[in-house]
Amino acid sequence: MARIVMKFGGTSVADIARIRNVARHVKREVDAGHEVAVVVSAMAGKTNELVQWTREASPMHDAREYDAVVASGEQVTAGLLAITLQNMGVHARSWQGWQIPIKTDNAHGAARILDIDGAFLIKRFGEGQVAVVAGFQGIGPDNRIATLGRGGSDTSAVAIAAAVKADRCDIYTDVDGVYTTDPRIEPKARRLAKISFEEMLEMASLGAKVLQVRSVELAMVHRVRTFVRSSFDDPDAPGMGDLLNPPGTLICDEEEIVEQQVVTGIAYAKDEAQISLRRVGDRPGVAAGIFGPLAEANINVDMIVQNISEDGKFTDMTFTVPSGDVDKALAVLERLKTTIGYDVVQSEAGMSKVSVIGIGMRSHAGVAATAFKALADKSINIRAITTSEIKISILIDGPYTELAVRTLHSIYGLDKQ
């Protein structure tokens, strides 16, 4: 017998037929004798609809009331799944985040989980009950519902798995695992059997949409073994109930991966914009004077490149932001012009960031050089580069994104079995 947390995303519970299919997945684990808790998202499209309603009611709406509205989508799904499970003879009950309780901070709309007492759910296990928990939500210090931001149900599931010391956390989605790159761009992309927490964190933060970044962070901190699986697989197919290695991709400690490839995957993010500040006075505190106000404006700055002039008096500062934040970033920089003392600010949208990721890069030289040469051979110009121990990110012109992804996927042999 094992303790399993199962999470199902919006496309997996999009209608009653799919909810019935999800219930079959849950019943399979219950019939195998496992203790099961389930975390659900809102039905596909419902959260967007609820968000739109709040905007129509008032463009400048209260964040606490926003949370009260958008959290209702998960409540509906949890109730429907509990009803369906009961109809199949499974002892199930739906629960809201505040009933567990999942305690969060007060940042309504983008709250962070502070604490979950696993005792409530463990008591449900002892009663033989499947607890169906509304994901994406908790309760803030003001005793009101707080939501966790987009993709928050993944975070709910991993946090609950950590709280109850689950043997596994299964994240069911519309894909059957984590791939070496996006199969829509590269048909030769392969599903990975295992990927380390660190690699998955890089993949998620650099453009892969399989898991929410905070959920991977939580899984890594609490060492929660996490499987990415497809809810559209036949619940009763051979191997689906395998306790140790069910179909999908295992996200785990690096030590569990015996054969480590140098490069594990290629991620990409479109709609990046490049902003350059020319002839900034080179003095202590100038970087803080630029990036502090941008952070306060909730603008996510990514790649940063600095070039010092020959006489050491001036610097050019180039960085990237999401294309949607360009106007806001330029407005912040304009207000800072007299304080910072730059000559001119330039911006260009339509960039893409392509990243090479792999824990094997720590012990292998020449990985970056291979990428640069491969892109040069395809006449792809590199705008900026950032690196870490296990990743290389390259900024290029947007129209070359797919060619760059396919080229790098091939040059590192990721298209070979």
- Check the annotation: does 210 bind a ligand: yes
> Do 18 and 111 meet the contact criterion of CB atoms below 8 Å apart?
no
Mean pLDDT within 282-311: 85
Is position 173 annotated in a ligand binding site?
Answer: yes
179 appears as a binding residue in the annotation: yes
Q: What would the mean pLDDT of 280-299 be, rounded to a whole number? A: 87
- Residue 65 token pair: 């009331």
Residue 292 has which token pair?
Answer: 């502090």
Which residue's structure tokens are 């989980």? 113
Per-residue pLDDT at 417 exceeds 70 = no
Lowest mean pLDDT among 5-14, 133-142, 165-174, 356-365: 356-365
- The yes-or-no verdict on residue 255 having pLDDT over 80 is yes
Overall average pLDDT of the 382-397 stretch: 91
Its sign, for the CA torsion 304, 308, 314, 316, is negative
- With vertex at residue 355, the alpha carbon angle to CA 349 and CA 359, rounded to the nearest 5 degrees, is 160
112 is in an annotated binding site: no
10 is in an annotated binding site: yes
Question: Rounded to two decimals, what is the model's pTM?
Answer: 0.87
Measured between alpha carbons, how far is 412 from 265 in angstroms, rounded to an integer? 9
Would the annotation count 36 as a binding residue?
no
| Euclidean distance between CA atoms 247 and 245, whole angstroms | 7
Q: DSSP alpha helices (H): ranges in 16-71?
A: 16-31, 46-57, 63-70
The Cα–Cα gap between 117 and 115 comes to 7
Query: Does residue 9 have a known ligand-binding role?
Result: yes
Q: What angle do CA 73, 50, 184 make, to 5 degrees?
A: 80
Task: Quick: pLDDT tens for 299-348.
Answer: 989 888 888 876 667 888 899 999 989 999 999 999 988 888 888 899 99
**pLDDT tens digit string along 6-17?**
999 999 999 999
Nearest to 131 by CA among 107, 163, 108, 104: 163
pLDDT at 310: 66
From the candidate CATH numbers 3.40.50.10710, 3.40.50.300, 3.30.2130.10, 3.40.50.880, the one assigned to the domain spanning 265-411: 3.30.2130.10
The yes-or-no verdict on residue 364 having pLDDT over 90 is no
Helix or strand or coil: residue 74?
helix
pLDDT for the residue 316: 87
7 annotated as belonging to a binding site for a ligand? yes
Q: Locate 167 and state its tokens.
A: 């043997």
8 annotated ligand-binding residue: yes
The size of the chain, in residues, is 417
CATH 3.40.1160.10 fits 3-254, yes or no: yes
* DSSP category for residue 191: B
Comparing 106 with 244, the larger pLDDT belongs to: 106
Residue 30 CA to residue 21 CA, distance in Å, equals 15
Q: What percent of the chain has pLDDT over 90?
A: 72
Bridge partner list, 173? 230
pLDDT (0 to 100) of residue 281: 81
Q: Report helix, strand and coil shares of the chain as percent, to nearest 5.
A: 40, 25, 35
The answer to the question of whether 46 is labelled as a binding residue is no
Domain boundaries, the chain: 3-254, 265-411
State residue 116 phi and psi, 5-degree precision.
-135, 125
The mean pLDDT value for 352-367 works out to 89
